[in-house]
Structure 1
Amino acid sequence: MSTGKRIGIVGIGAMGMAMARNLHRKGFPVAVRDIRSEAEQQARACGMQVCPSAASLARESALIIIVVVNAAQIDEVLFGIDGVVHGAAAGTTVMLCSTIAPQDTVSFAQRLAQHDIDTIDAPVSGGPARAEAGTMSMMLAAGDALLQRHEQVLDALGDKRFVISAAVGDGAKAKLVNNLLAGINLVAGAEALALGIKLGLEPGKLFDVICASSGASWIFQDRMARALKDDFSPRAFAHILTKDVTLATALADNAQYDTPLGDAALAAFRRTLESGFGALDDAAVIKTYLQEAQ
Structure 2
Amino acid sequence: MSQHDKQSLQVGLIGLGAMGMGTATALLKQGFNVTGCDISVGARDAFVAAGGQSVATPAELAHCHIVLVVVVNGVQVEQVLFGEQGVVSHLAPGSLIIQCATVAPSQAKQLGERVVAQGLMLLDAPISGGAAKAKSGELSVMASGATEAFIYAEAVLNAMAAKVYRLGDAPGVGSSMKLVNQLLAGVHIATAAEAMALGIRMGLDPEVIYDVITHSAGNSWMFENRVPHILSGDYTPLSAVDIFVKDLNIVHQTGRELALATPVASSALQQFTAASGAGFGREDDSAVIKVYQRLSGIALPEAANDAQGAE
- With the shorter chain as reference, the TM-score category is over 0.9
Residue 25 in structure 1 maps to residue 29 in structure 2: yes
Partner of 1:11: 15
Q: TM-score, normalised by structure 2?
A: 0.92
Residue 44 in structure 1 maps to residue 48 in structure 2: yes
Partner of 1:61: 64
Name the SS of the counterpart of 2:108 in structure 1.
helix
Query: Residue 5 of structure 1 contacts residue 60 of structure 1 at CA under 8 Å; is this kept in 2?
Result: no
What is the CA distance between 1:5 and its match in structure 2?
3.0
Name the SS of the counterpart of 1:56 in structure 2.
helix
Query: Residue 14 of structure 2 contacts residue 67 of structure 2 at CA under 8 Å; is this kept in 1?
Result: yes
Residues matched between the structures, number: 293
Query: Residue 272 of structure 1 contacts residue 284 of structure 1 at CA under 8 Å; is this kept in 2?
Result: yes
Residue 260 in structure 1 maps to residue 260 in structure 2: no
Q: Which moved more, 1:72-81 or 1:9-18?
A: 72-81
Q: Given the alignment, which residue of 183, 188, 210 partners 1:185? A: 188
Query: Following the alignment from structure 2 to structure 1, what is the Cα–Cα distance between the partners of residues 137 and 131?
Result: 10
> Which whole-Å deviations, capped at 9, do the CAs of 1:197-244 have from their partners, x for residues lacking one?
001000000111111101100011101111110011000011011100
Partner of 1:200: 203
Partner of 2:282: 279
What is the CA distance between 1:142 and its match in structure 2?
1.2
Equivalent residue runs for 1:155-194 within 5 Å:
155-194=158-197
Write the letter of the residue equivalent to 1:196: G
Partner of 2:151: 148
Residue 111 in structure 1 maps to residue 111 in structure 2: no
Query: Residue 17 of structure 1 contacts residue 43 of structure 1 at CA under 8 Å; is this kept in 2?
Result: yes
The root-mean-square deviation of aligned C-alpha atoms, in Å, is 1.2
Q: Which moved more, 1:202-211 or 1:81-90?
A: 81-90
Query: Following the alignment from structure 1 to structure 2, what is the Cα–Cα distance between the partners of residues 42 and 233?
Result: 19
What is the CA distance between 1:290 and its match in structure 2?
2.2
What is the CA distance between 1:94 and its match in structure 2?
0.4
Name the SS of the counterpart of 1:159 in structure 2.
strand
What is the CA distance between 1:146 and its match in structure 2?
1.7
Query: Residue 9 of structure 2 contacts residue 32 of structure 2 at CA under 8 Å; is this kept in 1?
Result: no
Runs of 4+ in 1 over 4 A off after TM superposition: none
Q: Which runs of 5+ in 2 are unaligned?
A: 298-311
Q: Which moved more, 1:103-112 or 1:89-98?
A: 103-112
Query: Following the alignment from structure 2 to structure 1, what is the Cα–Cα distance between the partners of residues 47 and 84?
Result: 24
What is the CA distance between 1:173 and its match in structure 2?
0.7
Query: Residue 109 of structure 1 contacts residue 168 of structure 1 at CA under 8 Å; is this kept in 2?
Result: yes
Q: TM-score, normalised by structure 1?
A: 0.97
Equivalent residue runs for 1:119-138 within 5 Å:
119-138=122-141
Percent identity between matched residues is: 37
Write the letter of the residue equivalent to 1:73: Q
What is the CA distance between 1:76 and its match in structure 2?
1.2
Query: Residue 101 of structure 2 contacts residue 127 of structure 2 at CA under 8 Å; is this kept in 1?
Result: yes
Query: Following the alignment from structure 1 to structure 2, what is the Cα–Cα distance between the partners of residues 212 and 293?
Result: 28
Query: Following the alignment from structure 2 to structure 1, what is the Cα–Cα distance between the partners of residues 94 and 147?
Result: 15
> Which whole-Å deviations, capped at 9, do the CAs of 1:8-40 have from their partners, x for residues lacking one?
000111110010011111111100110111101
Partner of 2:239: 236
Name the SS of the counterpart of 1:197 in structure 2.
helix
